[in-house]
Amino acid sequence: MSTKPAQPRKIGTYNVLAKLGEGAASMLYAVQHPKTKQVSALKHVEKTDEKSQRFLDQVEQEYAIGSKLDHESIRKLTKIILHRKMFKITAVSMIMELVDAMTLDQQLPKNHAQAVEIFSQTARGLAHMHERGFVHADIKPNNVLIDEYNKVKIIDLGQACAIGTVKKRIQGTPGYMAPEQAHRNEITPKTDIYNLGAMMYWVLVGEVIPTAMPPKNSQDGLLTGAVETENIALPDPPHERNPRIHPLLSKQIMDCVQPHEKDRPESMDYVANRLELILDIINEPVTAAPPVDADGTTVHDG
């Protein structure tokens, strides 16, 4: 009978305070620096066999990119620790900003105005990444943290890469993945635009859009059977599924999820500007009676 290993008391010089969660190959802890008493999050990955080396490499790549970013809507990565035994790296730890928040899929917005505010902050964070030469490449509801003040933190740069990267294998999340990811073409800022559009659709409508890599095409963690770009069906516009969704917001989302990159908005800055304009329109006082209760509309309300 197998048992889970006990929570470590220390990792490197850091005191472990609590376990925060775990991923496919990583553990996340709240830790405290013994001298400064600073409390941080720590992602820890151990090498268990040769196949697990790619998870260590992924953390190192995540830090290499994240340490070059400085935006309030992206979780800060502050330090990487390489644990060695007999001169060989046996584990990697990454020190990160500790954020007291829930993921977007755990805590949906209360209304459309709040949703657009979250979308806008996310777009601004991604635009910053693009300015620095990188693409997140895995924007989805559980990679966006929302705190009690409705502030966004984009997390998990494990699939982030330099603009123009062609990956050796298919990476992304089925149901949110852009066609160029599924077909292993260049990853560009427009990849993030598609991912963001798919996320916005899910938040407002409650369904994933048809993509080149639907969830049903993922088995045991392996991605198979990418749909040709020409055969990807567009979803129903969000405002047709829920007439309370503002038509301009609906159009923005549909523009983002166009299968062909050339048909998507020109940049993430453009998307962010449009979302901020839409937010102003949604928040604009309505003088005609009866008023439209846009600010009281529950997201996912069909």
Q: How does pLDDT run across 233-248, given as a tens digit for each residue?
A: 899 999 999 999 999 9
Please determine, for residue 112, whether its predicted confidence score (pLDDT) is greater than 60.
yes
Between 48-52, 156-160, 255-259, the lowest mean confidence (pLDDT) is in: 48-52
Please determine, for residue 296, whether its predicted confidence score (pLDDT) is greater than 70.
no
Please indicate whether residue 264 or residue 50 has the higher confidence score (pLDDT). Answer: 264
Q: CB–CB of 226/183 below 8 Å? A: yes
pLDDT value for 224: 57
Confidence tier at 50 by pLDDT (50, 70, 90): confident
Specify the amino acid at residue 189: P
Specify the amino acid at residue 31: V
Q: Mind listing the pLDDT tens digit for each residue in 166-222?
A: 999 889 999 999 999 999 999 999 999 999 999 999 999 999 999 988 887 555 445
Residue corresponding to tokens 């937010």: 279
E strands, the chain, in order: 10-11, 14-22, 27-32, 39-46, 77-85, 88-96, 102-103, 134-135, 144-146, 152-154, 161-162, 218-219, 222-223
User: Which of 56-60, 229-233, 255-259 holds the top average pLDDT?
Assistant: 255-259
Q: Taking all residues of the chain, what is their mean pLDDT, rounded to a whole number?
A: 90
Please determine, for residue 288, whether its predicted confidence score (pLDDT) is greater than 50.
no
pLDDT value for 237: 97
pLDDT value for 5: 60
Please determine, for residue 276, whether its predicted confidence score (pLDDT) is greater than 50.
yes
**Going from the N-terminus, what domains does the chain have, and what CATH number goes with each?**
10-96 (3.30.200.20), 102-296 (1.10.510.10)
pLDDT value for 2: 44
